[in-house]
Amino acid sequence: MTHILAIDQGTTSSRAIVFDGDMKIVSSAQEEFPQHFPNSGWVEHDPGDLWSTTAGTCRAAIEKAGLGPDDIAAIGITNQRETVVVWEKATGKPIHNAIVWQDRRTADYCRELREAGHDKMITEKTGLLADPYFSSTKLKWILDHVEGSRARARAGELLFGTVDSYLIWKLTGGAAHVTDATNAARTMLYDIHHGRWSTSICKLFDIPMEMLPEVRDCAADFGMTRADLFGREVPILGVAGDQQAATIGQACFEPGMLKSTYGTGCFALLNTGDTAVTSQNRLLTTIAYQFDGKPTYALEGSIFVAGAVVQWLRDGLKIIREAAETQPLAEKADPNQNVVLVPAFVGLGAPYWNAECRGATFGLTRNSGPQEYAKAALESVGYQTRDLLEAMQADWKGEGAGATLRVDGGMSASDWAMQFLSDIIGAPVDRPEVLETTALGAAWLAGQRADLYPDMAGFSQSWALQTQFTPQMDATDREKKYAAWKRAVDATMRF
């Protein structure tokens, strides 16, 4: 048993990656699945798609690696966070489509929570803001709108889970209803200071606690897979939400270390050690990882649209056929035009937290075209990252915050985007040799639990730099461009 299978279940696709005993990638498989948009600002997935693409890519990756059932020592899982699935305990059948983290249908209810003064209690216990981003109000919506579901949940007939819980349930044939501390911390139902589900918040939302999963460490025994899936039972030994898995994969184990992942959204996490820092700048306090029952905390800033803005260029505007075309277009953009795109397609995340505003473009001229839109799209990710880092630096007074930013995710492969990121934040940006840090984090969790991989110190030493980007932009130009971005955001929120 010399390999680890990492499941990376994301917002637009499911992937499976096989790592060998040296934590090197042997094979991978990926499959996209449909996105469903029933109403403006609503985003759903068919849970059956999440499961079928996960199971299919796992088998495909193992087959491509030329491995047999006895070669896989353990499975690690990382997943899109906050997305809600409710299913029948007896059959495993979902009672509604999964409501995705991007979904904004509960914005009005969250406003009512804030107006009633409940947001302070929610933030004190969960570290989160009363925003539709998180799982709890999505879960409440399902219980409110699927007839009889709340009574069935109280009777123990229905189960709730984030995507990790649902996949573990399916993988184990219904034997395990569990989650890890990092996913629990994103539900807005979990007391991150006492390490338990909050009875007061569940009561406020009228969510039966009988349907909640058991919470475990990130490296723990999460159950054994059904023997028919992979030819034998395989232990699931590691679980972490995707952004925490990336933090682990980037070896950000010391307080002050900072990473930013560029996938569908962008998520920056700053390790704050054993101190849960309360943000004064509308960032989130969350659990970075948990071992031996002891949580390590982080400040997190969430951008809802990062890589998704490139998808919009492809699928919405149809000015590119594939993501790789964005950089060549941006390089040809007119340098005299300063087109600013605020990609608030589903509202703005940190540090603004405006669920109602929608996207806008500023600075268009008669000569603006695909090149300028491509450039503005990539620049929007850099601007939003700077918003997050400035808020983090204001909250965190420890040493080293923001000195260097470690990056990963699909968009981090773009030299143009990473150079602009370094230019606009005025700090070095480090891109590692292994860009699949989310999957690597999940693999390491399972591998070290299986005694196949090194401990935390050994894993940190294995982190390797591929490219460092350093600021090249004139400081005056940097501040002029960022000021234009801030004006654009202000105008977007006022519209």
Q: Is 179 exposed, middle or buried (0-12, 13-18, 19+ CB in 10 A)?
A: buried
pLDDT of residue 410: 82
Please give the structure tokens belonging to residue 485.
């971005």
The per-residue pLDDT for 92 is 93
Q: Is the pLDDT confidence value at 142 over 60? A: yes
Pick from 128, 6, 4: which is nearest to 57 by CA? Answer: 6
Average pLDDT, the chain: 92
CA dist., res. 53 & res. 186, Å (int): 24
Q: Mean pLDDT: which of 166-175, 226-235, 431-440 is highest?
A: 166-175
Maximum separation of any 2 CA atoms in the chain, in Å: 65
pLDDT at 312 over 70: yes
Report the SS3 class of residue 379.
helix
Q: For residues 338 and 372, what is the distance between their CA atoms, to the nearest angstrom?
A: 8
pLDDT of residue 398 exceeding 70, the answer is no
Confidence (pLDDT) at 264: 80
In degrees and rounded to multiples of 5, residue 362 shows phi and psi of: -125, 155
CA distance 22 to 25: 9
Residue 378 contacts residue 333 (beta carbons within 8 Å):
no
The closest of 184, 441, 182, 193 to 287, measured between CA atoms, is 182
Q: In this predicted model, what pLDDT tens digit does every residue of 360-384 receive, in sequence order?
A: 999 999 999 999 999 999 999 999 9
pTM of the model as a whole: 0.87
337, 342, 345, 349 alpha-carbon torsion, rounded to 10°: 160
CB 236 within 8 Å of CB 224 = yes
How many CB atoms within 10 Å of residue 486? 13
Q: Looking at residues 2-14, what average pLDDT do you find?
A: 93
Distance of alpha carbon 106 from alpha carbon 41, whole angstroms: 10
Res 401 pLDDT > 60: no
Residue 417 has a CB neighbour count (10 Å cut-off) of: 25
136, 340, 383 from 205: Cα distances, Å: 8, 39, 36
Burial (Cβ within 10 Å: 0-12, 13-18, ≥19) of residue 39: exposed
| Most confident of the ranges 84-88, 273-277, 352-356, 408-412 | 84-88
**Distance in angstroms (rounded) separating the CA atoms of residues 353 and 473:** 29
Residue with tokens 């589900």: 197
CA–CA separation, 98 vs 78, rounded Å? Answer: 17
C-alpha triplet 165, 228, 47: angle, nearest 5°: 35
Q: Which residues partner with 75 through β-bridges? A: 5, 236
Cα gap 392→304, rounded to integer Å: 17
Quick one: average pLDDT of 426-433?
92
Q: Per the structure block, which two tokens stand in for 449?
A: 């639990």
Q: 29-38, 395-404, 420-429 — which is least confidently predicted?
A: 395-404
Question: For position 263, what pLDDT does the model report?
Answer: 80
Q: 94: which strand partners?
A: 87
Buried residues in 420-445 as b, exposed as e (16+ CB within 10 A):
bbbbbbbbebbbbebbbbbbbbbbbb
Phi and psi of 485, rounded to 5°? -60, -45
pLDDT at residue 33 in the model: 93
Q: Which residues contact 152 (CB under 8 A, 6 or more apart)?
A: 158
Query: How sure is the predictor about 455, in pLDDT bands with cuts at 50, 70 and 90?
Result: very high
Which amino acid type is present at position 263? G
User: How far apart, in whole angstroms, are the C-alpha atoms of residue 387 and residue 302?
Assistant: 10
In this model, does residue 128 exceed pLDDT 70? yes
Structure tokens of 200? Answer: 């007061």
DSSP letter assigned to residue 305 = -
Indicate if the pLDDT at residue 355 is higher than 80.
no
Quote the pLDDT of residue 12. 86
Query: Does the pLDDT value for residue 399 go beyond 70?
Result: no
* Residue-level pLDDT at 80: 93
At 116 the pLDDT is 95
Nearest CA-CA partner of 468 in 397, 405, 401, 374: 405
Token reading at 305: 């649209």
Q: Which amino acid is at 480?
A: K
Considering only CA atoms, which of 249, 243, 236, 275 is closest in space to residue 262?
243
Q: Is the pLDDT of residue 195 over 90?
A: yes
